[in-house]
Every structure is written in structure tokens, then in C-alpha cells.
């Protein structure tokens, strides 16, 4: 599958050495169809359709791919799907939220021990020796998690060991986003036409050379007009 579209340019990921495309490929729909907030039901694509999607994204110049343990089977599917092309992708995964494929429930664990186990499991699932970006998947208690749980310390240790290249947090509050930007390399924040409350976090990142990733840019599909 090829495209005649001009490939997207890449930009530096904050103050890190990573270079990423301005658009990324989210992969929750590769592994999870329960407990999601999209406006319409969907069917998880088979391996051929998933491989075609990844090939198209790469052809368009997208090199940032986002996954998480909370995305069901996304990580374990991406491992084989990205075989032979690891160097072409900047992989972002997460720690903290666990999803049960059987009953559709999530639970959270931000301890240092679980964070370490989660990273080692992600490395195995993704069939890679390192993960480019790992974010704490917040449950909404951004500041408490950063200040009182062990996840951030564990991420810092894994970064020192070379298992991770950049660390950060997927936040849900402005104060938590600001603190995450101060303490780490990157923050993932919600931002779209209907939700701009977290723009102070983006402003902080721009001023201080920190990376910012936008999530829910189309409101999980709810902001797309139906014709």
C-alpha cells in the first residue's frame, strides 16, 4: 500500500534526542473494544488489516505509534506487526492502568514494583530491547501519583538503564500536567476544539522545551460531523 502524499516532516520531541512526526498512530482499536468512549461500535481489525494500516501510516511519514497495557491486546499484536521495522518507529507505551479483556474492567497500580514489571512485560510483548517513550497512565490523581507513588522513580531508573528513552505522564488535570512537565520529559494532555482547559500545560511545555502529546484531538470521534 503506497501513497502519493508528501511524507510528514519530523520534529524534535521536546529536549530529547527523539524525532517524531506531528501526527501519531493510536492503537487502542487494535486490541480493545470494551469500555471505550467512541460514538460507534467497531470491530477489531485482523492482522492483515492492521498491517495495512501500519504500512499506510509509515508511508505517510507517521513514525510515532501509541499503545498501552490498557489497550487490551494492542502491545502483543504490535510486536509481530512491527517485526523488521523497529528502527522506523518511535513507540510510546504506558504504565499504571491494567485492562481485563475478559470482563472489560480496568484497575490501577502505580507502585514501583508494578511499574517495573509492566515495563518488562511491554518489552516482551513489543519484542524490543527498549521503548522510546513511557508515560504514567493516570487515573486522575496526577499530583498524588507523582509525589507519593513509586511509578516516576521506577521510570527514571529504567531510563538510566537504557530500557526507556523518555518518560512522562498522560494527565487529566492542569496542575498535574504542569507538575509532570516539570519532573519529566513529556506530557500527554487532552486538547481539542471543545476542550482547551489544559492549554496552560502546553504553554509551559513550549517555554521549557518539554514535549507535549495531544490526546482526544477529535474528542474520541465525537467532534467529527456526520454528513
Classify each residue of 154-169 as buried b or exposed e, where b means 16 or more C-beta atoms within 10 Å of its C-beta: bbebbbeeebbbbbbb
Active site residue 71: yes
Classify each residue of 21-31 as buried b or exposed e, where b means 16 or more C-beta atoms within 10 Å of its C-beta: beebbbbbbbb
Residue 195's Cβ-count burial label (10 Å; 0-12, 13-18, 19+) is middle
Distance, in Å, from the CA atom of 187 to the CA atom of 73, rounded to the nearest integer, reads: 24
What's the sign of the alpha-carbon dihedral 191, 192, 196, 199? positive
CB-based contact 56:17 (threshold 8 Å) = no
Give the active site residue among 71, 130, 144, 191.
71
Positions annotated as catalytic residues are 71
Amino acid at each position: 500500500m503506497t501513497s502519493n502524499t508528501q511524507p510528514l516532516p519530523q520534529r524534535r520531541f521536546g529536549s530529547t534526542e527523539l524525532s517524531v512526526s506531528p501526527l501519531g498512530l493510536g492503537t487502542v482499536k487494535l486490541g480493545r473494544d470494551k469500555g471505550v468512549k467512541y460514538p460507534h461500535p467497531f470491530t477489531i481489525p485482523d492482522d492483515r488489516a492492521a498491517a495495512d494500516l501500519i504500512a499506510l501510516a509509515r508511508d505517510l511519514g507517521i513514525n510515532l505509534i501509541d499503545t498501552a497495557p490498557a489497550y487490551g491486546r494492542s502491545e502483543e499484536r504490535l510486536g509481530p506487526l512491527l517485526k523488521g521495522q523497529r528502527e522506523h518507529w518511535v513507540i510510546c507505551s504506558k504504565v499504571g492502568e491494567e485492562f481485563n479483556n475478559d470482563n472489560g474492567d480496568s484497575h490501577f497500580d502505580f507502585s514501583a514494583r508494578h511499574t517495573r514489571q509492566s515495563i518488562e512485560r511491554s518489552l516482551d510483548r513489543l519484542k524490543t530491547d527498549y521503548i522510546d517513550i513511557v508515560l504514567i497512565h493516570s487515573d486522575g490523581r496526577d499530583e498524588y501519583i507523582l509525589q507519593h507513588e513509586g511509578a516516576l522513580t521506577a521510570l527514571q531508573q529504567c531510563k538510566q538503564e537504557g530500557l526507556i528513552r523518555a518518560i512522562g505522564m498522560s494527565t487529566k488535570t492542569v496542575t498535574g500536567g504542569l507538575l509532570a512537565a516539570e519532573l519529566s520529559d513529556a506530557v500527554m494532555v487532552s486538547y481539542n476544539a471543545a476542550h482547551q482547559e489544559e492549554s496552560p500545560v502546553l504553554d509551559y511545555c513550549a517555554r521549557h522545551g518539554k514535549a507535549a502529546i495531544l490526546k482526544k484531538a477529535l474528542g474520541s470521534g465525537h467532534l467529527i460531523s456526520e454528513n
